[in-house]
Structures are given as structure tokens and as C-alpha cells.
Structure 1
């Protein structure tokens, strides 16, 4: 059950890709995993989870577990959720001063793929094109861990991706999808009202 302010926000983002994009972009702005997980959890709970899970290609219990706000979701699942919500992810420079626009452009192209596997492979290419030793030092992890996490075969956790973006001085931004997929209308939330049957 959602609290008062959360319920208002949930009503705002329910089946509204533009509002979802603004809300998630605001929460991804600082590359902080806790804010990102909380925002993804609220957006997920605001929708009919069974239909959202079907659209994302995940099981309902997996969707609850992944976006319940407790665990660090994998990047591919985040991208599937965003696609099911009719929004897309792109990468923008975090600040206008000394903006790393080349990296942001390249990463935005990576996030433009429809298949999360292609996005992960392209993210790997961007990471490998950097000085991995200094990148590992800035991330605070070992060089081998950078290769394992962003090698293109492992689905990285969202927290590692956000840490990488913080190092690159870019941020994840969510925008409404330009080509929303045609889907059947979502049913109203909650149980249908019982109808009284008259007995003869």
C-alpha cells in the first residue's frame, strides 16, 4: 500500500509516459542508487503489475522482487521495465561545465537499442575504450572487476552502472518513447465490484 504523497505520485505516473520520464529522470539525476531504486519501485507499484510483467517479458514475482526497492536490479531488467512503460533511457552530460558529451552521445546510442544485450555489449565497448586502470581507481574497484562487470557478457547491476556514469560525469535520463507499442488497454486496478444476483 502506498502512503499519501506516494499515492499522489503513483496516480500521476500511472499510464502517463511523460510523467514517468520526468519523475525517473529527476531521481536518476544524481546517479544515486537508493533514489533510483525507490523511484523504480514506486512506478512499478503504480501500475497493474501482472500486465506490466507481461509487457516486460518477466514473471510477476520477478518484477516484484526486482523492483521492490530492496535489491539492486540488473540493467537489462531496468531496460525491459522502461520499454514496458513506453519510455526510453538515454545518457546526458551531468553538468554543462566540461561536459563529456562524446561519452554521453556514445552511451545514448547504446541505450537506443531495443535489445538489452546489445546495450550491454555497447556499454562494454565504451568502457574498454577508456583507460581501465584509472577508471577502476576512480570507481574504487579492482581492474579485473571492471572487466568482469562491463565485459559484455555479464548483466551489470544498476548501482555499478550509476557509479560508472558518475565517473564519466554523465547521467541516465528517461524520455517518452517516440514509437509507443500498441498494447491492449490496462484494466482498472483493484477487484471488480460484486454484483448482486436476484433469485426468482
Structure 2
């Protein structure tokens, strides 16, 4: 009997702001801008791309392209998406993480 598989979609598991923040924290640890753009796209799909695009002042299609793995979102787009999601970036010293 063949094993039946189903596509995995991270967006299905991002139901609360806490889940979204934990997902973004994990992505930011990799320091990969393409992964960050993709992760924001996943989050935007989970929360409603159309509304986020309106909040940011972009078309839905433009935001999909910008938040893809090949996209390169500008800082204003990144900050607008985070604001629309009710999130903000915070910064802390790397050394604090190592000593914890």
C-alpha cells in the first residue's frame, strides 16, 4: 500500500499573534532575507493577503511577488506588513542570547 501524503502549509498553523511571532523569531535566527520574505508571505496568506496589501498600500499581486522567496521587500513594505499584523521588530544584543 502506498503512503498517502498531503502538502504541508505553514500558514494553516499560524492562528495567533504568538504563533506568528514565534515563527518569525525562528526565521530571523537564520539571517536569510529570502526566507524572511517568504515567511512574511506565508503569514500574510494566513492572515489575509488582500487586507494586508490594502494596509501596506500595494496590490495583492505585488505583495505576493514581493513576499516570495525571490522577492526583495523594501524596509517600508516590511514595516508596513508587520504593522498590519500587529507586530513590530525589536533588537537585542547577540551576546545576551549566547550567555542565556
* TMscore range, shorter length: 0.7 to 0.9
Measured after TM superposition, the shift of residue 48 of structure 1 is: 2.0
Are the aligned partners of 1:40 and 1:69 in contact in 2 as well (CA < 8 Å)?
A: no
In structure 1, C-alpha distance between the alignment counterparts of 2:98 and 2:22, rounded to whole Å: 25
Q: CA deviation at 1:47?
A: 2.9
Does residue 36 (structure 1) correspond to residue 36 (structure 2)? The answer is yes
The gaps in structure 1 that reach 5 residues or longer are 100-200
Residue 61 in structure 1 maps to residue 64 in structure 2:
no
Residues 21-77 of structure 1: per-residue CA shift (max 9 Å, x gap) = 110111011322232122122112223211121122322122112112212111110
* 1:12 matched residue in structure 2: 13
Aligned counterpart, 2:71? 71
Residues 98 and 28 (structure 1), Cα distance of their counterparts in 2 relative to 1, 3 Å cut: closer
TM-score, with length taken from structure 2: 0.77
Q: Whole-Å Cα distance in 1 between the matches of residues 90 and 23 of structure 2? A: 15
TM-score, structure 1 length as denominator? 0.42
**Larger Cα Rg: Structure 1 or Structure 2?**
1
The number of residues matched between the two structures is: 94
Residues 69-94 of structure 1 show CA distances to partners (whole Å, capped at 9, x for unaligned) of 21211111000000111111111222
SS of the residue corresponding to residue 91 of structure 2 reads strand
Unpaired runs of 5+ in structure 2?
A: 1-5
Whole-angstrom distance in 1 between the partners of 2:90 and 2:96? 17
* Contact preservation (8 Å) 1:37, 1:72: yes
Higher helix proportion (structure 1 or 2): 2
